[in-house]
Amino acid sequence: MAPGGGAEGGPAADSPARDIAAAWGRERPGTPVGSIGIVTPIWQLAKLFGDDRRRVLARAGVDSATLDLLSVLRRSGEPYTLSTRELGRRSLVTAGAVSQRVARAEREGLVTRRPGEGRPRTVQVTLTRAGHDLVEATVDRVLHREAGMIEGLTPEQQATLTELLRLLLEDVQRRLGDDRVTHVGHE
């Protein structure tokens, strides 16, 4: 892509964010519009990535919330067991959402749950063989697809964007006093 947003050597593509900012600037002079060029594309990208991920997962026969649960367990390492509290912390979702996800995955034979040792209300959740197989087959589909969608950026641009997004996220979380982050496309 050329710096203006168009194909190499071609005209710059129209930018809805630029058009929105210009319209607000025209209609309400003095209104701060600088954020529109950042926030609008982030919202658009979140929608595109979320919708695409849902389609990929639908073809694989799994929903994003279940894949998130299975992925958190898989990334935890053997024996692929975590407490529901730890699942919530690592999944960035509420205890109620974890409970619903675990119940659904258990009905599908993807996880088992048992009482935790030493703490009366602790529940341990373990990935089953079927859950392990599903996450192994699905995670590659998702990550290869997403890697392909960002390959228009050079590795250096990807690294820069990764760092800038991390900085922006941390600053917005600090300003809002909210470090909870939910996953796009999750229930």
Mean pLDDT of the chain: 87
Spatial CA neighbour of 69 closest among 146, 137, 134:
134
Q: Residue 54 contacts by C-beta under 8 Å, 6 or more apart in sequence?
A: 63, 64, 185
With residue 112 as reference, give the H or E element that holds it.
strand 111-115
pTM, to two decimals: 0.76
Report how far apart the first and last C-alpha atoms of the chain are (Å, whole number). Answer: 35
Cα separation, 39 vs 76, in Å, equals 33
- Asked whether residue 182 carries a pLDDT value surpassing 70, the answer given is no
Predicted confidence (pLDDT) per residue in 72-106, tens digit? 999 999 999 999 999 998 988 888 999 999 999 99
Predicted confidence (pLDDT) per residue in 99-152, tens digit? 999 999 999 999 999 988 877 788 999 999 999 999 999 999 999 999 999 999
Q: Are 140 and 99 in contact (CB under 8 A)?
A: no
User: In this predicted model, which residue has the larger pLDDT, 17 or 185?
Assistant: 17
Q: State percent of the chain over pLDDT 70.
A: 88
